[in-house]
Amino acid sequence: MSKIRVVHYINNFFAGIGGEEKADIPPEIREGVVGPGMALRSALKDEAEVVATVICGDSYFGENIEEAKTELLEMIKQYEPDLFIAGPAFNAGRYGVACGTIAKAVEEELNIPVVTGMYIENPGADMFKKDLHIIETKDSAADMRKAIPKVAKLGLKLVKGEIVGPPEEEGYLVRGIRTNYFHEKRGSERGVDMLVKILNGENITTEYPMPNFDRVEPNSAIKDMSKIKVALVTSGGIVPQGNPDRIESSSATKYGIYDFSGMDSLTSDKFMTIHGGYDRAYVLENPNLVVPLDVMRDLEREGVIGELANYFVTTTGTGTSVGNAKAFGEAFSKKLVEDGVEAVILTST
Amino acid sequence: MNKTIITNNKLVYEKLNEKIETQFLSKYSYIEILEHVRDMIHEGNKLLTHPLSGSLKPNETPFKSIVVSKKKEDLDLEGLSIIEDSIASAQKFISGKPTPQYNERILNDFRLIDLSLLENAVNRMVCL
Amino acid sequence: MRLELGKIFIKDVQFGESTKVENGTLYVNKQELIDIAMEDDRIINATIELARSGESVRIAPVKDVIEPRVKVEGEGNIFPGVISKVKTVGSGRTHALVGANIVTAGKIVGFQEGIIDMSGPGAEYTPFSKTYNVCVVVEPKEGIETHAYEEAARLAGLKIGAYVGNAGKDVEPDEVVVYETKPLLEQVAQYPNLPKVGYIHMLQSQGLLHDTYYYGVDAKEIVPTFMYPTEIMDGAIVSGNCVAPCDKVTTFHHLNNPVIEDLYKRHGKDLNFIGVILTNENVFLADKERSSDMVGKFVEFLGLDGVLITEEGYGNPDTDLMMNCKKATKAGAKVVLITDEFPGRDGKSQSLADATHEASALVSCGNGNIIVELPPMKKVIGTLDYVETMIGGYEGSLRPDGSIEAEIQIIIASTIANGYNKLTARNY
């Protein structure tokens, strides 16, 4: 049997091309292994061969997702791989998202198995763990030596169609795919065991964790809007032209507060959107579609609302972790309250 | 009666309309009935029966009948959350495997089951 | 209330001159059973066939399964209020033909009944592949209403179950198990240092043709009530509902409720089993509110420290399950839920149609959407005509050679949500 053909994806940094200053390099492909591919080659042993390595800068990927995906897919396809491996990305956020995005695209378009690797807090892990096998790594490349053999082993299993074991056995992040098996005890006996443990104050592990309920109880309705101050808050990525605070186009780590006092609407010469998750064309033309300053001014004039706060709060929602989003909210809510804002209109995209 | 049935099941309309006003939306799909009811709840109608009654998965039957109040009151938040969860469940099943195209004999079985659920509920309405 | 349950282990079933048990073999007289089924003029034809564990046999569409039992001592008879006089049961002595079952089959409506395979991969999912089954296949009178036919088929099964059970009346059981729960104050006093535990048993009552019956009362008409656990072992509860096959709590499962059995195993050791709260799963939200309120009230009134809750069905009952969980927690009890899951074919979506954060201890009885391959069987009892429209089946499910590809939902009691089986699901 001929060897299994593997294509490997890495970023500019791991390719040895350079750090942040080279993060904007477009996709390229090289024959054989590059950088961590060497470790991969030895882990794959004689069964498989890394036929090519594709390389792309992290910011190029993040800012040109569709183009990068198409270009990379074209390059990968030419080498007719049986298996695609991306990363591992460890804790590098943009690299993780890039690995996840391209791995998912390869799986869907080329219909071959894919494996990647990430640290559990990498934003790419949350985004793609349901779709992909992501080997869990530590938070730095120091874990490369341990991570690569797991990536290789799982990849080979997938190519050969062997049965993939549970997460802790294979080392991948829990995907949340509900899979059946026969337990040694029947359900009722496990239920009684569980109850007795709880009653004895012992810890138990539920067999089906409830979805995360981070629900916020709605406040009681406002009786009279005509007396109060309202603010606009968005996750639609509207920022002043030039994006002065460099808010990320996805997986945001910060938010911005921008003044629009004296303006009647958000004009396209002053505002833009940097959001990476929707077709920006219409919003670039008319930012009011996301931050509706124009109609809020009308309501202000008509006396429907008392007053509009003279600024808006903004971030990018796409890929942003719940933890970050929560922290943003906690931080800017304080300012809103201090400024006498009693109601907020949240716009998303 | 201050209740109304929203249904895409003609059997429910034929059998129950005399007792309880029935909105027969013959062209609506299962999901569209749920969405229609959701819209009504937003308008102040109260959800009275569980949208996923019957233990038939949403991609197994094309028929759905739901009872809501006629009177518009304050937003029924609990009902809203139940209908939204139900729509999410229904979409999950239908996108995974669409409801089959059944022949008329089987469709009649499904109509009958849907009616059976409703009749049982309607017969108990006096006390509610 | 104290019940001695005498278990007579059945290791084979044969047709015979008379209906009797001899050396672990159950003999049934075919004509006697046919005559019982035909007493009801809504049934125009009945056939009796045998299916033994390990045989290449497929039974479909299965309606209900009944373990033959007989009252030997004590008040009342099996299935009170349904086929015998209303009388409180659950004390004295009862004999059960363990390993034998009556299986009723025949079309009721096109999609609510399921399959039992006596061997092969499908057999692993149902407890009835391990037993010796007397199958009763009934045919309705032409033009009869579905509700009436369902009732006739249900009663035929129960009557035959009681008739066959009678054959064990004078047989010396292989094993006798004693179950006892005392009146509340005495029971609490018996094990004052053990946590007081109850079981909240949710009965399917959506009104799919018919429902579950407690002493003959339709469960949707009850307000939650209290039951001694042993009552159920004498047939105080019978199944009459149509629900997805995998979820079906058959009459067998009521007689052999696993939660009750396993709570008794720890009774007096790790817990004090106080009793069973029976409640329903109605479709009206107002009913749900009332029933779950009353469940909460019982938990408080009985001073329960912990409860197990089981449900029957998917969707609508999930809401009752969560409401009961919330209110039992609020009443001061620790709660463990037992249920099955329907996360879709890719296994990635929410498993239940409702959720609450109090549901932090849950036992899973498996993912019903998993697809299984069932090879052809040499013999079919009943008919495969409805396979593709059964729940879990789909267009193309039944192949010309008689093999079936379907979701495990199609198999009777495969993911039964009371913990009878060992099947479970975990995150991959």
| Chain C, window 364-383: residues with a beta carbon less than 8 angstroms from a chain A beta carbon | 364-367, 370
**Tell me, what amino acid is at C263?**
L
| Confidence band of A76 (pLDDT split at 50, 70, 90) | very high
User: What span, in angstroms and rounded, lies between the C-alpha atoms of C116 and C104?
Assistant: 11
Find chain C residues with C-beta within 8 A of B62's C-beta. Answer: none
Tens digit of each residue's pLDDT (9 = 90 or more) over C83-117:
999 999 999 999 999 999 999 998 766 567 899 99
Virtual CA dihedral for C272, C273, C279, C280, nearest 10 degrees? Answer: 120
Across the interface, whether the CB atoms of A175 and C427 are under 8 A apart is answered yes
Mean pLDDT confidence for A299-324:
88
Kindly list the domain boundaries of chain A, sorted by start residue.
4-170, 225-347
| Mean pLDDT computed over every residue of chain C | 94
Across the interface, whether the CB atoms of C258 and A189 are under 8 A apart is answered yes
Tens digit of each residue's pLDDT (9 = 90 or more) over B26-61:
999 999 999 999 999 999 999 999 998 877 788 888
Tens digit of each residue's pLDDT (9 = 90 or more) over C261-288:
999 999 999 999 999 999 999 988 999 9
**Tell me, what amino acid is at C233?**
M
Percent of chain C whose pLDDT exceeds 90: 83
User: What span, in angstroms and rounded, lies between the C-alpha atoms of C21 and C258?
Assistant: 26
| Confidence band of A280 (pLDDT split at 50, 70, 90) | confident
Find chain C residues with C-beta within 8 A of B93's C-beta. Answer: 342, 344
CB C374 within 8 A of CB C404: yes
> Encoding tokens for residue C292?
């779950």
Find chain A residues with C-beta within 8 A of C261's C-beta. Answer: 188
Strands (DSSP E) found in A120-273: 133-137, 178-182, 229-234, 238-240, 256-259, 271-273
Structure confidence at residue A118 (pLDDT): 96
Structure confidence at residue B127 (pLDDT): 43
User: Is A179's Cβ below 8 Å from some Cβ in C?
Assistant: yes
Q: H-helix or E-strand containing A29? A: strand A28-31
User: What span, in angstroms and rounded, lies between the C-alpha atoms of C244 and C265?
Assistant: 30
The active-site residue out of C242, C246, C325, C365 is C242
- Overall number of domains in chain C: 1
State yes or no: pLDDT of A213 exceeds 70.
no
Tens digit of each residue's pLDDT (9 = 90 or more) over C283-331:
889 999 999 999 999 999 999 999 999 999 888 899 999 999 999 999 9
User: Is A130's Cβ below 8 Å from some Cβ in C?
Assistant: yes
State yes or no: pLDDT of B78 exceeds 80.
yes
**Beta-carbon pairs below 8 A across chains B and C:** 117
State yes or no: pLDDT of C62 exceeds 80.
yes
User: Is C239's Cβ below 8 Å from some Cβ in B?
Assistant: no
Mean pLDDT confidence for A215-220:
79
Task: Fill in the DSSP letter of residue A8.
Answer: E
Who among B106, B112, B121 is closest to C283 (CB)? B121
Across the interface, whether the CB atoms of A189 and C423 are under 8 A apart is answered no
Candidate from A148-157, A268-277, C169-178 with smallest mean pLDDT: A268-277
Structure confidence at residue B35 (pLDDT): 95
**Beta-carbon pairs below 8 A across chains A and C:** 157
> Encoding tokens for residue C138?
């009934």
Domain A4-170 has CATH 3.40.50.2300: yes
Structure confidence at residue B1 (pLDDT): 64
Across the interface, whether the CB atoms of A164 and C270 are under 8 A apart is answered no
**Tell me, what amino acid is at A336?**
L
Our CA-based measurement puts residue A127 at a distance from the nearest CA of chain C, in whole angstroms, of 14
> Encoding tokens for residue C162?
């009681």
Tens digit of each residue's pLDDT (9 = 90 or more) over C215-272:
999 999 999 999 999 999 999 999 988 778 999 999 999 999 999 999 999 999 999 9
User: What span, in angstroms and rounded, lies between the C-alpha atoms of C34 and C163?
Assistant: 12
User: Is A213's Cβ below 8 Å from some Cβ in C?
Assistant: yes
C-alpha separations of B15 from A304, B5, B9, C394 in Å: 48, 12, 10, 30
- Quick check: is C63 in a domain? yes
Across the interface, whether the CB atoms of A182 and C363 are under 8 A apart is answered no
Our CA-based measurement puts residue C311 at a distance from the nearest CA of chain A, in whole angstroms, of 12
CB neighbour burial string for C297-317, b if at least 16 within 10 angstroms, e if fewer? ebbeebebbbbbbbbbbbbbb
User: Is C355's Cβ below 8 Å from some Cβ in A?
Assistant: yes
Candidate from A271-275, A321-325, C92-96 with smallest mean pLDDT: A321-325
User: Is A202's Cβ below 8 Å from some Cβ in C?
Assistant: no
Percent of chain C whose pLDDT exceeds 70: 99
> Encoding tokens for residue C241?
């509902």
C246 is catalytic: no
- Quick check: is C68 in a domain? yes
Which residues span the domain enclosing C18?
Answer: 2-410
Find chain C residues with C-beta within 8 A of A179's C-beta. Answer: 347, 367, 425-428
Unique residue bearing structure tokens 């009684």: A192
Find chain A residues with C-beta within 8 A of C363's C-beta. Answer: 187-188, 190-191, 194, 207
ipTM (interface pTM): 0.96
User: Is C347's Cβ below 8 Å from some Cβ in A?
Assistant: yes
User: What span, in angstroms and rounded, lies between the C-alpha atoms of C325 and C333?
Assistant: 9
Structure confidence at residue B128 (pLDDT): 43
Who among A181, A210, A211 is closest to C360 (CB)? A210
User: Is A108's Cβ below 8 Å from some Cβ in C?
Assistant: no
State yes or no: pLDDT of A103 exceeds 70.
yes
Across the interface, whether the CB atoms of A177 and C427 are under 8 A apart is answered yes
